[in-house]
Structure 1
Amino acid sequence: MTAPFTCRMITDAAELAALAPEWWELWRTSPAATPFQSPAWLLPWWNNLADGEACVLAIRTGKRLVGLAPLYCERRAQGRLVRLMGFPVTDYQDFLIAPTLEGPALAVLRSHLTDADFWDVLELAELPPNASALRMPAPGGYGERTANASACPVLGLPDVFDGPPRVIPARTRRALRTARNRAERRGSLQILAADRNSVLESFEILVALHRQRWNSRGEPGVLADSRVRQFHRDALPALMDAGLLRLYVLQIAGHAAAAYYGLVHRNQAYGYLTGFDPAYAYESPSVILLGFVLDEASREATREYHFLRGREPYKYGWGARDCWNKCRVFHRSKASCHDIARRD
């Protein structure tokens, strides 16, 4: 017989960090979990990028952790805005819920949120289509607004690896062969996979390449913020230890021409960040590296490759199709929803 469910709020950073072993266990069993809900991602986020107060809801049956809503609260002049941890560097957000217990766990969470007095607007953004948070009943007495959030193009991969994925359009396969031929004329190609000893060095190469690429366009890029860079430096070793990280550097004639930062969990791969040296633009090193990544993903029996947020044309050139995240916003009044949840 299942013990009664309880819901407790965690507000202390040390207590949140101490939850990590149970958090990992829940994450490993949660059907909808992505690397973005793991302690390896969210604890470094909290230490480096949090702009508010923790209000993490831990659901238990007996002593067992069966649900986790990693929330935090921003206090604004118009009221208290509560969001899922990870904003804005996280592409997929969600609760963690133990399998077979989703219904009762979400009911307990909904009841707690209905009675709680720590929020005026609750914004559950960037929820992928299979997110548990999409199935939580609305807290009683609150209005709700639901809308599409970001498009996250996804490429389906074949069940069996038999060479480069045939799902890639012929035009892109030709472009990939052309890029390799051009690069090989310039010098030998080598793709280096980061390990525990080289992960931070490889990340610094990515930072430099990303900066070069975006500076050439007169833009700073997403790694311009020192807090974001430190967040990744803290997250990468833990992601590596958990087997979730894929970090590669492509060298042409011994020079770093492109770098790739991605994640893998179960049979899903996620392309998070890339960078390349504009001096090698003619050789299209990012195309070469992404072709390699998709080959490796197929070898690992990956079923889907997620290009993550953004509708950049190159993603569709690889055969990806739009998959839309959702956003649910609960509020006391329409006015407070508009005023409090508005991005600065």
Structure 2
Amino acid sequence: MTVTAPSRLAAPGASAEWTAEVHREEQALIALADDLRDLYDRSPAATPFQTYEWIKSWWGWYGTRGRLRLATVRCRGRLVAAAPLAAGVRHGFPVLVPIAADQSDFTDVLLDPAYADGAVRHLARALLDERGWCALDLREVRPGSAAHLVAARWPRRAWRTPSSVCLELPAGGSGSGTGIDAVLDRLPRRTAGKMRAKLRKIDVRGITAESVPADRVPDAVHALLDLHTRQWRGRPINPEHTRERFRRHLAEAAAGMVRDGRAAVLQYRWDDRLVAGDLVLIGHRHVGAYLYGALPDLRSRVDVSLMMLREDLALARDLHRQSVSLLRGDEPYKLKWRPTPVRNERIILGRTAAATAYAGLARTRAYLSERRRGGPGAPAGPSGSASPLLHD
């Protein structure tokens, strides 16, 4: 474990003792469980992908011994910032990356805004004092995330480039004109009429939705993944979704998150037969439709995406969340709802001179990937608005 020396800095209203550490022992994740849960509750910009249950489960099934780098900052003993990271190698460069980044739609650090100034400074210092890495790569940073504060005050070079587009729909408050009705009101009248007819068809057929209690979540997640695999049979599927470690990670994480009100697993039944399942992640500000599965023949009978969207919007409305995020990707089946696009950013924080080469390679690979997808082309250069250099 690397420990920075305690220091005295001015805190809001009083002087305070600050301590910062970078934990390498895997036992630290377990020992800090309650502190990390509490900090998540005090981190309004954090998403469900920063919950303790998501991170701990992922590390248990994917983590590599000796690579944990859990940076923490305390003020008068209270945890006020945390960056759960892992050391690794990308494209030949030693880097730090957020835990669970490959299975997460958003990456960030945890930060209590009441201690932001001191916490960010100490977090940066603790990371810079940690040897063996050239760049910290945060690939999917949502607008308004705490990582933007860290990047803005990073004392060395930092870069940002556009990352994935996420699509969002407003959930609204209570009463009429909210939820699915508010979404349909965004559509042309004729299209909205067709969608309402499809909803009536779902109701007439008697398809019901049930929220699964925490003790039944593992079995429900396994059933969801079975349906997900069946629905993609004969078509390209994310290969990780078919692997046992992903199945076990998702079941374990979802069980803890449902218990804590951070997720919901919905099951859809038709004549007591399970026909679809949906995992919804519940954040401070939005709910996210993470993964679903449905019987292949169900799609020929009802509009599955419409059926699930209605329930997700109702869940967000009932929990007083602002929106439903359709998460990464701008696929046509999402665009038909006329959602609001929200662009993530990739933030790279440099520690050594090699970070410049790493950032350049990352930008080049992003450009080539965009061209293969038939997108608009490379991000703008350092002087362009799409990908400015944060600071030198």
Query: In 2, Cα distance between the equivalents of 1:206 and 1:317?
Result: 25
Aligned-pair distance for 1:314? 2.1
1:73 counterpart letter in structure 2: A
RMSD across aligned C-alpha pairs, in angstroms? 2.4
Asked if 2 retains the 8 angstrom alpha-carbon contact of 1:149 and 1:324, the reply is: yes
Superposed CA offset, 1:204-248 (max 9, x none): 221111101111425355511221111111112110110111111
With 331-340 and 290-299 compared, the bigger mean Cα shift is at 331-340
Asked if 2 retains the 8 angstrom alpha-carbon contact of 1:183 and 1:252, the reply is: no
With 176-185 and 22-31 compared, the bigger mean Cα shift is at 176-185
Query: In 2, Cα distance between the equivalents of 1:160 and 1:183?
Result: 23
The match for 2:357 is: 335
Query: In 2, Cα distance between the equivalents of 1:167 and 1:77?
Result: 43
Query: In 2, Cα distance between the equivalents of 1:222 and 1:114?
Result: 33
Query: In 1, Cα distance between the equivalents of 2:165 and 2:52?
Result: 25
1:135 counterpart letter in structure 2: L
Asked if 1 retains the 8 angstrom alpha-carbon contact of 2:46 and 2:284, the reply is: no
Query: In 2, Cα distance between the equivalents of 1:149 and 1:108?
Result: 27
Query: In 2, Cα distance between the equivalents of 1:301 and 1:292?
Result: 14
Asked if 2 retains the 8 angstrom alpha-carbon contact of 1:153 and 1:309, the reply is: yes
Match of 1:119 among 133, 151, 163: 133
Aligned-pair distance for 1:4? 2.2
Residues 72 and 284 (structure 1), Cα distance of their counterparts in 2 relative to 1, 3 Å cut: same
Match of 1:105 among 119, 123, 131: 119
2:29 counterpart letter in structure 1: L
The reply to whether residue 150 of structure 1 matches residue 168 of structure 2 is: no
The match for 1:19 is: 32
Query: In 1, Cα distance between the equivalents of 2:238 and 2:349?
Result: 34
Aligned-pair distance for 1:175? 4.1
With 34-43 and 316-325 compared, the bigger mean Cα shift is at 316-325
Consecutive unaligned residues in structure 2, runs of 5 or more: 1-13, 367-392
Aligned-pair distance for 1:183? 4.2
With 246-255 and 321-330 compared, the bigger mean Cα shift is at 246-255
Taking the TM superposition and a 5 Å limit, the aligned residue runs for 1:250-269 are 250-269=268-287
Aligned-pair distance for 1:203? 1.1
Match of 1:306 among 300, 325, 345: 325
With 68-77 and 10-19 compared, the bigger mean Cα shift is at 68-77
1:237 counterpart letter in structure 2: A
Taking the TM superposition and a 5 Å limit, the aligned residue runs for 1:1-344 are 1-51=14-64, 53-75=67-89, 78-136=92-150, 137=152, 139-140=154-155, 142-162=156-176, 164-168=180-184, 169-170=186-187, 173-183=192-202, 187-219=205-237, 222-282=240-300, 283-331=302-350, 332-333=353-354, 334-338=356-360
With 104-113 and 84-93 compared, the bigger mean Cα shift is at 104-113
Asked if 2 retains the 8 angstrom alpha-carbon contact of 1:179 and 1:285, the reply is: no
Residues 266 and 81 (structure 1), Cα distance of their counterparts in 2 relative to 1, 3 Å cut: closer
Residues 249 and 216 (structure 1), Cα distance of their counterparts in 2 relative to 1, 3 Å cut: farther
With 51-60 and 213-222 compared, the bigger mean Cα shift is at 213-222
Asked if 2 retains the 8 angstrom alpha-carbon contact of 1:258 and 1:275, the reply is: yes
Query: In 2, Cα distance between the equivalents of 1:300 and 1:173?
Result: 25
Aligned-pair distance for 1:268? 1.7
Asked if 1 retains the 8 angstrom alpha-carbon contact of 2:289 and 2:312, the reply is: no
Query: In 2, Cα distance between the equivalents of 1:31 and 1:293?
Result: 21
Query: In 2, Cα distance between the equivalents of 1:178 and 1:217?
Result: 29
Aligned-pair distance for 1:173? 4.1
Number of residue pairs the alignment of both structures matches: 342
Report sequence identity in percent.
Answer: 23
2:320 counterpart letter in structure 1: A
Asked if 1 retains the 8 angstrom alpha-carbon contact of 2:171 and 2:314, the reply is: no
Query: In 2, Cα distance between the equivalents of 1:66 and 1:218?
Result: 43
Query: In 2, Cα distance between the equivalents of 1:109 and 1:158?
Result: 37
| Secondary structure of the structure 2 residue equivalent to 1:17 | helix
Query: In 1, Cα distance between the equivalents of 2:214 and 2:342?
Result: 33
Aligned-pair distance for 1:309? 0.7
Query: In 2, Cα distance between the equivalents of 1:130 and 1:35?
Result: 15
Query: In 2, Cα distance between the equivalents of 1:4 and 1:292?
Result: 47
Asked if 1 retains the 8 angstrom alpha-carbon contact of 2:187 and 2:337, the reply is: no
1:335 counterpart letter in structure 2: A
Query: In 1, Cα distance between the equivalents of 2:22 and 2:362?
Result: 22
Superposed CA offset, 1:248-293 (max 9, x none): 1112233222211101133421111111111111212332122122
Query: In 1, Cα distance between the equivalents of 2:275 and 2:286?
Result: 26
